[in-house]
Structure 1
Amino acid sequence: MTEIDFHRWAVWSQLIIAAITFVSVIFVVAPYGRYERAGWGWRVQKKHGWILMEFPAVALFFVLFFIGEKRLELIPLLFLGIWQIHYVHRAFIFPYRMRFSSRMIPLVVPLLGIAFNTLNAYINARWLTHFGDYGPEWLYDPRFLLGSALFVAGWLGNLDSDNKLRSLRQSGDTSYKIPKGGLYRWISAPNYGCEILMWVGWAIATWSTAGLAFALYSIANLAPRALSHHSWYRKSFDEYPTERKALIPYIL
């Protein structure tokens, strides 16, 4: 099997994983955070599990990117910057700022995350500097411009939404509150919605099956979670805004 065949197989595998994930998270909510429950085996501190889970998206992506022969070309380097600005924050800053970072979560959660991020880092990094072909003219291509704009908008919205969640609690406060302001005026899970927007933007900007597979996985994984959050808020707070949607303002 040549590597291009292996890469195609890996992309198809991620699409299959996306379908399985979509069905799974509809029926089984991941056992951490507000959905924490007994069972699920060994546990690890939440912040440490998060770092382990996201580490391949930083380190493995970086290594695979720079073994490609197109590693010093302009457009791939721009994509590297876009990717790393998100994942360096996600792996090494976000875990220490997240709420309840010292809580324990089932080890299976970061293990599944490691497996996915390893596969995802491979298919995207190898596409950018080995299988893909981005000349300097791609910098002015409408797909690159639109996709990059969507990514940046989603990234900024994701950061703002996470900051608003953290601001809800004083130190030592373990209660949940209704988030307000920003995109929370319209939807219950803008952090998830903006992350989906980011990777849809990535798929458009890279115009690749690897990017598309990642975007579809993000939708499959995060959209059902957003609906679960929305349902939980409505059941937990009688005063929860009735006009607020789950994921897409005024629609869903």
Structure 2
Amino acid sequence: MSELEFHTLLVQGVFLVAALTVPALLFISAPYGRHARGGWGPQMDTRLAWMVMESPSVLWFSAVFFAGAHAWSLVPLLLLVLWQSHYVQRAFIFPLKIRPGGLTPVSVVAMGFAFNLVNAYVNARWVSEFGRYELSWLLDPRLWLGVGLFVLGYRINRRADAVLAALRRPGETGYKIPRGGLYELISCPNYFGELLEWTGWAIATWSVAGLSFAVFTAANLVPRALSHHKWYKQKFPDYPPGRKAVIPFVL
């Protein structure tokens, strides 16, 4: 089996995992954050869990990317900046803003770590080795449509995280209803932002590898957003009835 055939097999595996993830998360909420519960084995500090789980998307992606024959070409470097702008923040900055004391099952961390190893490899290897991104790609509207969607999603995601971080003052515990911005329309604008980001990535790379990640992101985040939305409505009798879960006016 050649490496390209192996790469193709892994991409197909990501699509398969996405297909299995949807029914699983519709019936079982991932046991961390507001859905945390026992029965999932040993646990670890949530901030450390995020760093461990997301670190392959920074470190392994970089190692695979710079091993590619086209790593120092302009378009692949632009795509690298997009990817790392999300994951450096997600792996090493966002966790430091999480309030201490939370616990996450090690099993969840292990599954996330394993997926990120595969996903980082298939996307990095495509962008810097198997894909062909000549300078002419800079004139292709697909690149800039994808970049625009990615940047818009990134800004939405960061803004939503900032609103959540500001909900509780030092020393406060419990949950509140987030308000302002897209929170007036949907319960999970942070997830909506990520959906836009990785849809943009799929368009900018115009690759099956990128598409597989966009599909998995939707398979993972949409059911989780529905769980969040249901949880908000159950916990807060005065929760705004007009809000959707994750896509404004739609879902």
Scaled to the shorter chain, the TM-score interval is over 0.9
| C-alpha distance 213-101 of structure 1, shift in aligned 2 (>3 A) | farther
**Structure 1 residue aligned with 2:232:** 233
Post-superposition Cα deviations, 1:188-211, rounded to whole Å, max 9, x if no partner, equal 000011101100000000000000
Name the aligned partner's letter for residue 147 of structure 1.
G
**Structure 2 residue aligned with 1:224:** 223
**Structure 1 residue aligned with 2:86:** 86
Where 1:26 maps in the other structure, the secondary structure is helix
Q: Detail structure 1 runs of 4+ shifted over 6 Å in the superposition.
A: none
- Paired residues of 1:22 and 1:221 also in contact (CA < 8 A): yes
Structural mapping, 1:63-102, within 5 Å: 63-98=63-98, 100-102=99-101
Where 1:248 maps in the other structure, the secondary structure is coil
Where 2:44 maps in the other structure, the secondary structure is strand
**Structure 1 residue aligned with 2:47:** 47
Task: Quote how far apart the aligned CAs of 1:62 are.
Answer: 0.2
Post-superposition Cα deviations, 1:173-228, rounded to whole Å, max 9, x if no partner, equal 22100000011010000001110110000000000000000000000000001111
Where 2:242 maps in the other structure, the secondary structure is coil
**Structure 1 residue aligned with 2:243:** 244
Where 1:228 maps in the other structure, the secondary structure is helix
Post-superposition Cα deviations, 1:40-74, rounded to whole Å, max 9, x if no partner, equal 11110000011000110000000000000101100
Structural mapping, 1:192-231, within 5 Å: 192-231=191-230
Where 2:58 maps in the other structure, the secondary structure is helix
- Paired residues of 1:95 and 1:101 also in contact (CA < 8 A): no
Where 1:93 maps in the other structure, the secondary structure is helix
Identify unmatched segments of 5+ residues in structure 1: none
Give the distance between the partners of 1:43 and 1:193, measured in 2 at CA.
Answer: 28
Post-superposition Cα deviations, 1:113-168, rounded to whole Å, max 9, x if no partner, equal 10010000000000011100001111121110101000000000000000000110
**Structure 1 residue aligned with 2:13:** 13
Name the aligned partner's letter for residue 206 of structure 2.
W
Give the distance between the partners of 2:152 and 2:181, measured in 1 at CA.
Answer: 13
Give the distance between the partners of 1:167 and 1:127, measured in 2 at CA.
Answer: 39
Name the aligned partner's letter for residue 95 of structure 1.
P
Task: Quote how far apart the aligned CAs of 1:172 are.
Answer: 2.2
Name the aligned partner's letter for residue 136 of structure 2.
E
**Structure 2 residue aligned with 1:30:** 30
Taking structure 1 as the reference length, the TM-score comes to 0.98
Name the aligned partner's letter for residue 28 of structure 2.
V
**Structure 2 residue aligned with 1:181:** 180
Post-superposition Cα deviations, 1:13-62, rounded to whole Å, max 9, x if no partner, equal 00001111111111110111111111111110000011000110000000
Structural mapping, 1:121-140, within 5 Å: 121-140=120-139
Alignment RMSD (CA, Å): 0.8
Give the distance between the partners of 1:104 and 1:246, measured in 2 at CA.
Answer: 25
Q: Percent identity?
A: 51
Aligned residues: 251
Where 1:245 maps in the other structure, the secondary structure is coil
Taking structure 2 as the reference length, the TM-score comes to 0.98
